[in-house]
Amino acid sequence: MELQLALDLVNITEAKELVKEVEAYIDIVEIGTPVVINEGLHAVKAIKDAFPNLKVLADLKIMDAGGYEVMKASEAGADIITVLGVSDNSTISGAVAEARKSNKKIMVDMINVQNLEQRAIEIDALGVDYICVHSGYDHQAAGRNSFEELSAIKRVVKNAKTAIAGGIKLETLPEVIKANPDLVIVGGGITGQADKKKVAAEMQQLVKAGA
Ligand SMILES: O=C(CO)[C@H](O)[C@H](O)COP(=O)(O)O
């Protein structure tokens, strides 16, 4: 099991400072969608250049032109790029084909997918690397989480790794770990804490003990 730090509400300078603080405890750094919107793919390049030993995920939430957008994120140094599960299969397949050229990985974000198990089966057959259940900020505001969705996709996904994101905190991490995802994604659960290093270290310990 791996731990991914999601950076959403920071600029490039703040992102570097944050990663420096917790880099020993995480496996992947996510350059979140708001950061890409504000700073562009320069943010991906800046973090990859500063932390070459960490994997960098570009949370582009691609919805169209999968091949082209994956190519651009790959050029910027992203190791993993996200595509939306509600996209057309051709978008997801285009993303996978482009990622294979440069040994990059595709994560499909299942945010707002209605027929979750059926869609997870279809997406798994497209050869993606990760399938991620996700309660976004708007869902979190309505009190939702994705813990049950993780168990649902775990039942049907045979090839891809599974991931979970959305409002995970130190207190809820043990419940998440019980469902045995391959990757746990945490944003505010680390970045919003006074002692980020301590929380990240405790989370890493739980994640490593999980598998
Ligand atoms: O993709 C995202 C929002 O769309 C976030 O990066 C993801 O939800 C993780 O952040 P948090 O733990 O703060 O919810």
Q: Do the beta carbons of residue 112 and residue 141 sit within 8 Å?
A: no
- Residues 6 or more apart whose CB falls under 8 angstroms from that of 136 comprise 111, 112, 166
Of all protein residues, whose CA lies closest to atom 11 belonging to ligand 1? 187
Please state the rounded mean pLDDT for residues 25-45: 98
Read off the pLDDT of residues 147-159 as tens digits, 9 standing for 90 and up.
899 999 999 999 9
Q: 36 CB under 6 A from ligand 1?
A: no
187 within ligand 1 shell (Cβ under 6 A): yes
pLDDT (mean) for 90-99: 98
136 C-beta closer than 6 A to ligand 1: yes
Nearest to 14 by CA among 203, 149, 191: 191
Query: Which of 92-106, 129-143, 193-207 comes out lowest in average pLDDT?
Result: 129-143
Within the chain, what is the greatest distance between any pair of CA atoms?
44
Protein residue with least CA distance to atom 7, ligand 1: 166
Kindly state the percentage of the chain with pLDDT values over 70: 100
pLDDT at residue 144 in the model: 84
Interval 35-57 mean pLDDT: 98
211/153 Cα distance (integer angstroms): 18
Q: Band of the pLDDT at 59, cuts 50, 70, 90?
A: very high
- DSSP H or E stretch at residue 145: none
Span from the CA of 48 to the centroid of ligand 1 (angstroms) = 20
Instruction: Provide the token pair at 116.
Output: 């979750």
In total, how many domains does the chain have? 1
Residue 50 alpha carbon to ligand 1 centre in Å: 22
Q: Is the CB of 133 under 6 A from ligand 1?
A: no
- Residue whose Cα lies nearest atom 2 of ligand 1: it is 136
- Cross-strand bridge partners of residue 56: 29
Q: Range of 96's domain?
A: 2-210
Instruction: Please report the pLDDT score of residue 211 as a whole number.
Output: 67
* Residue 151 dihedral angles phi and psi, to the nearest 5°: -60, -35
Nearest CA to ligand 1 atom 4: 136
- Please work out whether the CB of residue 37 comes within 6 Å of at least one atom of ligand 1: no
What Rg, from alpha-carbon coordinates, does the chain have?
16
Q: pLDDT, tens digit, for every residue of 115-172?
A: 999 999 999 999 999 999 999 899 989 888 888 999 999 999 999 999 999 999 999 9
| 193 pLDDT more than 70 | yes
Give the distance (Å) from ligand 1 centre to CA of residue 187: 5
3-state class (DSSP) for residue 54: coil
Give the CATH number, domain containing residue 74. Answer: 3.20.20.70
With 0-12 / 13-18 / 19 or more C-beta atoms within 10 angstroms meaning exposed / middle / buried, residue 103 is exposed
